[in-house]
């Protein structure tokens, strides 16, 4: 009687990394429950279907607001892209927008998405800071 030795490697098709200093909420495809991705953590999305999948992310309670962004995940997405998160603003100024970066890397059979902010300022003044475009 002879036996054969097999080596099976299972790779997730999509991995999401949170490189932000705030938690990110998402509803993984094929699951009913919402997952919370803490800062510096990652999640394997094993049931993701590249090219026909919609991924919705939410920044919870950042600046006392919830920010939502949803995009379709392409089979061959660009390496760098901008994801625009929207939050309900006040009645006078309308909705607020927050642009964050998404870095995509492909390793073996896995597509790795990393959500990040090119710069993140820490405000220890106790006052609300507002950044505006120069009028010049």
The pLDDT of residue 27: 79
CA distance 52 to 71: 11
pTM above 0.85, yes or no: no
C-alpha angle with apex 57: 19 to 55, nearest 5 degrees?
110
21: DSSP letter: S
Residue-level pLDDT at 33: 74
In this predicted structure, the answer to whether residue 108 has a pLDDT above a threshold of 90 is: no
Q: How confident is the model at residue 2 (pLDDT cuts 50, 70, 90)?
A: confident
Does any domain span residue 64?
yes
> Where in the sequence is the domain holding 20, given as residue range(s)?
14-116
Give me the pLDDT at residue 125, please.
Answer: 85
What domain count does the chain have? 1
Res 105: pLDDT: 94
Q: How confident is the model at residue 130 (pLDDT cuts 50, 70, 90)?
A: confident
Structural domain contains residue 70:
yes
């Amino acid at each position: 009687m002879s036996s054969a030795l097999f080596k099976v490697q299972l790779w997730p098709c999509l991995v999401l990394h949170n490189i932000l200093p705030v938690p990110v909420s998402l509803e993984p495809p094929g699951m009913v429950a919402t997952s919370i991705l803490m800062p510096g953590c990652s999640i394997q999305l094993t049931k993701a279907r590249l090219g026909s999948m919609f991924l919705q992310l939410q920044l919870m309670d950042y600046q006392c607001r919830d920010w939502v962004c949803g995009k379709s995940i392409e089979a061959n997405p660009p390496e760098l892209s901008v994801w625009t998160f929207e939050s309900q603003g006040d009645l006078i100024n309308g909705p607020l927008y927050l642009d964050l970066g998404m870095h995509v890397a492909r390793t073996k059979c896995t597509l790795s998405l990393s959500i990040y902010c090119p710069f993140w300022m820490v405000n220890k003044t106790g006052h609300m800071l507002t950044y505006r475009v120069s009028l010049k």
